[in-house]
Amino acid sequence: MAAPTFNQLTINSIRPVTGNTEDGVALTFDVPEPLQAQYRFIPGQYLTLRAEINGEDIRRSYSICSHHTDEPLEVGIKCVEEGQFSNYAKTLKPGDQLQVMTPEGRFTAKIGGVNNYLLIAAGSGITPCLSIAKSVLTDEPESRITLLYGNHNTDSIMFRKDLDNLKNQFTERFMLAHILTAEKQDAAISNGRIDTEKLNQLSEHKLIDPTSYDAIYLCGPQAMTEQCTEALLALGADKERIHFELFTTGKTQAAQQQTKKTRSKDKATGTPVTLVLDGAERTIQVDGDNETVLAAALKAGLDLPFSCAGGMCCTCRCKVAAGDTEMDLNFSLADWEVEAGYTLACQTRPKSNNVILDFDAT
């Protein structure tokens, strides 16, 4: 598996993600012919965008919202208060260029077959679900999708027109339910937030049947995905069929700092760590009490693959080929990956000498 790489892509078009550009924008990119193979994606994957903003090198991950083969590469960027990249994105125009990493992510739906899907999204969590819905409904002609989409009110619904179009085009196979917290809808069951109680109500009314889905995709804040996972399991869903992606975690930066402060004291400081990337080896010193491997590598001028730096996206996944390490946080590696020795460089600190982290390991 090739390490993800950045390429300079030109923005082809920009559109608002709601009725108001201030809420965020969707960007489509022109992908030159020689790069097209690298930018093929599986529905559910994301792109990491990178730009220098006010002198700082900023990168952020945004999910692709397009059909996996028939539409231009498009990401949805929801504006967040004081969000450096999302506010910058609103100033972009067609013809501008951005550094765009090749698609990454394992919150994916492999298209093919006859399947029954449940998608649950909140806010900007709709972006990967939209790509999955477009691709499944078009390319799996007998598959069905139920999408529960939580928002504040009608005006804050992202990609509303796209969703309405899908609903009109695939009336028989696409069930879309908007669940709104701050706007009363005619059907009482559509009011409130997507949580345990809501899933239980929907199940009681036979609007969802968690035992029947071939795949369930959850995308939104950590509290929602955790609560919904538990509720779905209690309602009989198969754990192996539940996939989730976090857009935000409940951990604040302060909490993450605290995690670092309370870490065990037996870590080595200034430990040599060897990094293997694209066949080349480079050894850096990592002060495990004060920095992660990723932080030390960036300080040393190495260009390791990373995006969120928060343990959520998995872009910095690598394998511990030698030595002992520990992670601060892990929101994206599966249990089997941790058991197999994979780690997240943005969360990893050495616990012994002679640690080797292999970014080329598949």
- Residue linked to tokens 């669940």: 179
By the rule CB under 6 A, 246 interacts with ligand FES: no
The H-or-E segment that residue 178 falls in is strand 174-180
For residues 42 and 316, which CB has a smaller minimum distance to ligand FES in the complex? 316
User: Distance between CA 321 and CA 343 in Å, rounded?
Assistant: 10
For residues 111 and 318, which CB has a smaller minimum distance to ligand FES in the complex? 318
User: How would you classify residue 142: left for phi > 0, otherwise alpha for psi between -120 and 50, otherwise beta?
Assistant: alpha
- Closest chain position to ligand FES (CB): 346
For residues 28 and 86, which CB has a smaller minimum distance to ligand FES in the complex? 86
Q: Give me the least distance between CB of 335 and ligand FES, in Å please.
A: 16
Q: Give me the least distance between CB of 338 and ligand FES, in Å please.
A: 13
Q: Give me the least distance between CB of 346 and ligand FES, in Å please.
A: 3
Helices (H), ranges, 193-323: 196-204, 222-234, 253-261, 293-299
CB contact at 8 A, 118 and 216: yes
For residues 79 and 346, which CB has a smaller minimum distance to ligand FES in the complex? 346
For residues 148 and 313, which CB has a smaller minimum distance to ligand FES in the complex? 313
User: Distance between CA 318 and CA 201 in Å, rounded?
Assistant: 42
Q: Give me the least distance between CB of 286 and ligand FES, in Å please.
A: 15
User: Distance between CA 62 and CA 73 in Å, rounded?
Assistant: 12
Q: To the nearest 5 percent, what fractions of the chain are helix, strand and coil? A: 25, 30, 40
Q: Give me the least distance between CB of 1 and ligand FES, in Å please.
A: 16
User: Distance between CA 351 and CA 342 in Å, rounded?
Assistant: 15
Q: Give me the least distance between CB of 317 and ligand FES, in Å please.
A: 7
CB contact at 8 A, 359 and 3: yes
Collect all residues with Cβ–Cβ distance below 8 Å to 154 and sequence separation of at least 6: 160, 178, 180, 183
Q: Give me the least distance between CB of 7 and ligand FES, in Å please.
A: 19
Query: Residues 35-74: x/- map of binding to ligand FES (CB under 6 A)?
Result: ----------------------------------------
For residues 150 and 310, which CB has a smaller minimum distance to ligand FES in the complex? 310
Site for ligand FES, residues 292 to 311, rule: CB under 6 A: 306-309, 311
Pairing of strands 355-358, 317-322: antiparallel
Q: Give me the least distance between CB of 61 and ligand FES, in Å please.
A: 7
For residues 74 and 245, which CB has a smaller minimum distance to ligand FES in the complex? 245
For residues 163 and 308, which CB has a smaller minimum distance to ligand FES in the complex? 308
Mutual angle of helices 196-204 and 222-234, in 10-degree steps: 40
Query: Residues 250-289: x/- map of binding to ligand FES (CB under 6 A)?
Result: ----------------------------------------
Angle CA 269–272–273, to nearest 5: 115
Query: Residues 308-347: x/- map of binding to ligand FES (CB under 6 A)?
Result: xx-xxxxxx---------------x-----------x-x-
Q: How many residues of this chain interact with ligand FES, rule: CB under 6 A?
A: 13
For residues 65 and 346, which CB has a smaller minimum distance to ligand FES in the complex? 346
Q: Give me the least distance between CB of 310 and ligand FES, in Å please.
A: 6
**Within 13 A of 286's CA, how many CA atoms are on the CB side?**
33
User: Distance between CA 204 and CA 206 in Å, rounded?
Assistant: 5
Q: Which residues bind ligand FES (CB under 6 A)?
A: 306-309, 311-316, 332, 344, 346
